[in-house]
């Protein structure tokens, strides 16, 4: 900046020097060709000429260019249209013009980013509304079961999903799923799977057939790197029997009241959307339940949640919490106690993944 300041001063000095030279030459010419004019008046005329020429030079060299820069700056600050300033000067005026151009360029880029952010925010809001309408608004009533559950997304649109679907042949289907990642892409896949499961539950009576056909349709419509782990329960109210079909999801936790033990059962299978045909990979199996027993479904957002020290909540701690409270709890009470201990553990740590917990009890 000091260099530029000196440059501007040098230019002004050069203009004044040139004008002085012209004035001196004019003075001697006047003495040569107008000898009758008094030297004092001639000197005054030269001084006036030099001053006037210097003033005019300052106007053209500094005032007019600065006026143009300030005019465009004023237009920018008052929200009126402005134009880019074209100049090849390297003095202070050139620096101001270049600074103005850079500022306006950044403002235009930020404006585009803000507009894009608003558009994405609107899309996320729409996706969030759709998701909320799909998830159960209140705890469903299922004949022969006591049920309570909820989901909490990590972002505006989550990838976790659960639903309770009443179907024919005295069947009720209960599922929980977890799409890879979260946000709008995960939310869209969640909506697709929910729709497919509901559609095929009206056509088939076994969890196996529902999952096989859901995967077949889903695989054709999502990216290869996208998939959804899922476990589907089928409760038959007449037979009083529970069945499960796993698709690469987390373990099922089964609390046996008689022994006060929480069993950890692998769901098996492979995630929906990973391969075209899962008919040879998955199967529907029975879960023996007695009065007072629980089935707990969850997503990895619970067991992988960390506290402020970086320690994960973990499956052993979830199992221990269930065994601590389940014997004397209803499904809603067990949900509340697990949520309380989970909240104490994570504290103020930021939620990094979607969280879903479903508690099912056979009274």
User: Tokens for 139?
Assistant: 């705890």
- Give all domains of the chain, ordered by start, each with its CATH number: 2-108 (no CATH), 135-361 (3.60.40.10)
**Residue 258 near residue 248, CB atoms below 8 Å:** no
CA distance 6 to 19: 20
- DSSP assignment of 339-350: HHHHHHHHTTPP
Nearest to 303, CA basis, from 357, 257, 256: 357
The whole-number pLDDT of residue 292 equals 96
State pLDDT tens for residues 195-212.
Answer: 999 999 999 999 999 999
Helix, strand, coil % over all residues of the chain, rounded to 5? 50, 20, 30
Residues of the chain under the 70 pLDDT cut? 1-70, 72-79, 86, 88-96, 99-100, 107-108, 110-133, 156-158, 182-183
The whole-number pLDDT of residue 167 equals 94
The whole-number pLDDT of residue 3 equals 42
Give CA 237 to chain center in angstroms. 42
- Neighbour tally for 80: CB within 10 Å: 9
The bridge status of strand 160-166 relative to strand 171-179 is antiparallel
| Residue 7: burial class (beta carbons within 10 Å; 0-12, 13-18, 19+) | middle
User: Tokens for 259?
Assistant: 């022994």
Residue positions counted in the chain: 363
**Alpha helices (runs of H) in 78-221, residue ranges in sequence order:** 92-134, 184-201, 207-219
- The answer for 268, left when phi > 0, alpha when psi is -120 to 50, beta otherwise, is left
For residue 351, the 8-state DSSP code is: P
Give CA 321 to chain center in angstroms. 33
User: Tokens for 153?
Assistant: 């997304």
The whole-number pLDDT of residue 349 equals 92
| Bridge partner residues of 247 (DSSP) | 230
CA distance 301 to 356: 7
CA distance 47 to 25: 12
- Neighbour tally for 301: CB within 10 Å: 25
| Bridge partner residues of 296 (DSSP) | 253, 359
The whole-number pLDDT of residue 246 equals 97
CA distance 239 to 295: 17
- Neighbour tally for 346: CB within 10 Å: 19
State pLDDT tens for residues 143-169.
Answer: 999 999 998 887 766 678 899 999 988
User: Tokens for 176?
Assistant: 């929980």
Helices (H), strands (E): how many in the chain? 9, 10
């Amino acid at each position: 900046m000091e260099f530029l300041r000196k440059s501007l001063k040098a230019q002004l000095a050069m203009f004044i020097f040139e004008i002085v030279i012209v004035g001196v030459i004019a003075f001697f010419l006047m003495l040569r060709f107008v000898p009758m004019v008094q030297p004092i008046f001639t000197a005054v005329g030269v001084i006036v000429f030099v001053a006037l020429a210097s003033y005019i030079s300052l106007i053209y060299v500094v005032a007019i260019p600065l006026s143009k820069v300030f005019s465009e700056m004023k237009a920018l600050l008052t929200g009126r249209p402005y134009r880019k300033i074209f100049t090849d000067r390297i003095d202070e005026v050139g620096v101001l013009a270049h600074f103005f151009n850079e500022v306006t360029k950044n403002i235009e880029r930020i404006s585009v980013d803000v507009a894009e952010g608003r558009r994405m925010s609107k899309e996320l809001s729409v996706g969030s509304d759709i998701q909320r309408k799909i998830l159960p608004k209140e705890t469903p009533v299922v004949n022969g079961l006591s049920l309570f559950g909820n989901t909490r997304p990590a972002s505006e649109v989550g990838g976790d999903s659960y639903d309770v679907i009443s179907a024919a042949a005295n069947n009720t289907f209960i599922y929980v799923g977890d799409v890879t990642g979260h946000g709008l892409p995960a939310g869209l896949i969640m909506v697709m799977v929910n729709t497919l499961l509901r559609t095929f539950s009206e056509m088939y009576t076994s969890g196996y057939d529902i999952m096989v056909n859901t995967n077949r349709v889903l695989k054709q419509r999502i990216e290869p790197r996208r998939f959804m782990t899922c476990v589907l329960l089928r409760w038959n109210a007449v037979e009083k029997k529970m069945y499960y079909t796993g698709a690469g999801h987390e373990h099922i936790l089964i609390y046996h009241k008689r022994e006060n033990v929480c069993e950890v059962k692998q769901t098996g299978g492979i995630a929906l959307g990973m391969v075209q045909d899962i008919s040879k990979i998955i199967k529907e199996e029975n879960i023996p339940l007695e009065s007072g027993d629980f089935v707990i479904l969850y997503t990895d957002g619970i067991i992988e949640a960390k506290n402020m020290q970086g320690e994960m909540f973990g499956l052993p701690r979830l199992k221990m919490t269930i065994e601590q409270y389940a014997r004397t709890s209803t499904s809603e009470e067990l949900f509340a106690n697990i949520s309380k201990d989970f909240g104490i553990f994570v504290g103020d740590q930021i939620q990094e993944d979607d969280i879903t917990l479903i508690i099912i009890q056979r009274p």
